[in-house]
Chains A and B, each alone.
Chain A
């Protein structure tokens, strides 16, 4: 390698060789890379294909499970209904014949025996109420919905009129805010309002005056609330509140079978909404419900008939 020219020449040759090598290497490299890419692509594709297959399979399985769940739920409802229905006849006989026996023995039996007959009758009477409540609860889950525009203010006034007539001798202060019109089944919604208002009146029985505040807010539908200054409840037992036949007070203090709020929850679930509550023992309680708007654009909320744990929120927020 002498002289510039030589260098140049060698360099040229070297460059040529290098270029050739480089080209070969490059091609080899690209070929290798391309093969690698193709392999990866194939692998990815087949992975994707199997994922799609798996997903389709999973979707099919989930649809099947959903259908099974629906069927077994319906079966369970039908079973509960027929059990409750069939229990009525023997119960009527217990109650009816205890009554006849009591009449028969009025002059002859001891006061103790008459008392025992009394207990049989009142227990059968109570069981009758439980069964009828169970039937109503079951019916609420199965009844067809007939949805129309329901002005809540009018519905509330009707319910209030019915319920306060029996409580004419009490002082009840009402604060009622404006309420919207909702789309729903008027019979079911009336039942929900009836339960919430009669509860509020029941648990403010020892307040003078009872103060009841009712209002609503538009929140992707409507959120309704009724607040009272009554007995309230311990938030620790919130999860029991909306379950059927769960009660937080002894029968002697506040009568009832414990189905009311479970019915409210069921009515709301049938409307794609939910009911929940806040309260403090001795400080009153507030009961809420939410009915989502019927906008076809919005995604339908999940059905939340499940028991609520802790501070429950409307379904669509969870």
Chain B
């Protein structure tokens, strides 16, 4: 889809990780622009254009980068809500987490994550991982056609 680049939604409670993610996307020339929310509740408010995001015009993100361990509503719950909401369910979601626990991997995929990326502990590797997944999901991948909340 040529034309306007869809934005990336980053759901991340650590501001340091959010800053590193920004830097990584900059470094890899991902020019989509990032919306950053800090917990699961805020992420759902953003996606449903309610609460603090009341009046926002809905635009599906190119990809949602979703941390799992989040305050208020955790990442899996956010993912489950996205996958059971008609106008949101097709949006690519990449789980971006520190957890290498097998049960988190299983739950991540069974709840419908499109990819599961363990945040590398090494700074350079983190930038490489996040940068290249930004390039793929925001620039290479063709996103699903946008559905408006009213249409469904």
B127 touches A128 (CB 8 A): no
Q: B122 in the interface, Cβ–Cβ < 8 Å?
A: yes
A98 touches B123 (CB 8 A): yes
Contacts of A132 in B (CB 8 A): 121
Q: Which of A128-143 contact B (CB under 8 A)?
A: 128, 131-132, 135
Interface flags, B2-28, vs A, CB<8A=1, else 0: 000000000000101100100100000
Interface flags, B121-150, vs A, CB<8A=1, else 0: 111101100000000000000000000000
A93 touches B121 (CB 8 A): no
Contact A92 B100, CB 8 Å, known A97-B16, A128-B121, A132-B121: no
| Chain B count of residues within 8 A CB distance of the other chain | 16
Contacts of A204 in B (CB 8 A): none
A92's partner among B23, B99, B126 (CB-CB below 8 A) is B126
Tell me the smallest distance from the CB of B100 to a CB of chain A, in Å.
Answer: 7
Separation of A121 and B119 alpha carbons in the complex (Å): 17
Tell me the smallest distance from the CB of B14 to a CB of chain A, in Å.
Answer: 6
Contacts of A121 in B (CB 8 A): 123
B98 touches A95 (CB 8 A): no
Tell me the smallest distance from the CB of A183 to a CB of chain B, in Å.
Answer: 23
A91 touches B121 (CB 8 A): yes
Interface flags, A274-298, vs B, CB<8A=1, else 0: 0000000000000000000000000
Q: Which of B112-126 contact A (CB under 8 A)?
A: 119-124, 126
B121 touches A92 (CB 8 A): yes
A128's partner among B17, B20, B122 (CB-CB below 8 A) is B122
Interface flags, A76-116, vs B, CB<8A=1, else 0: 00000000010011011111111110000000000000000
A residues at B contact (CB < 8 Å): 85, 88-89, 91-100, 121, 124-125, 128, 131-132, 135
| Beyond A88-B119, A93-B14, A96-B20, 9 additional pairs, beta carbon < 8 A | A88-B121, A89-B16, A92-B126, A95-B121, A97-B20, A99-B127, A125-B122, A128-B121, A131-B121
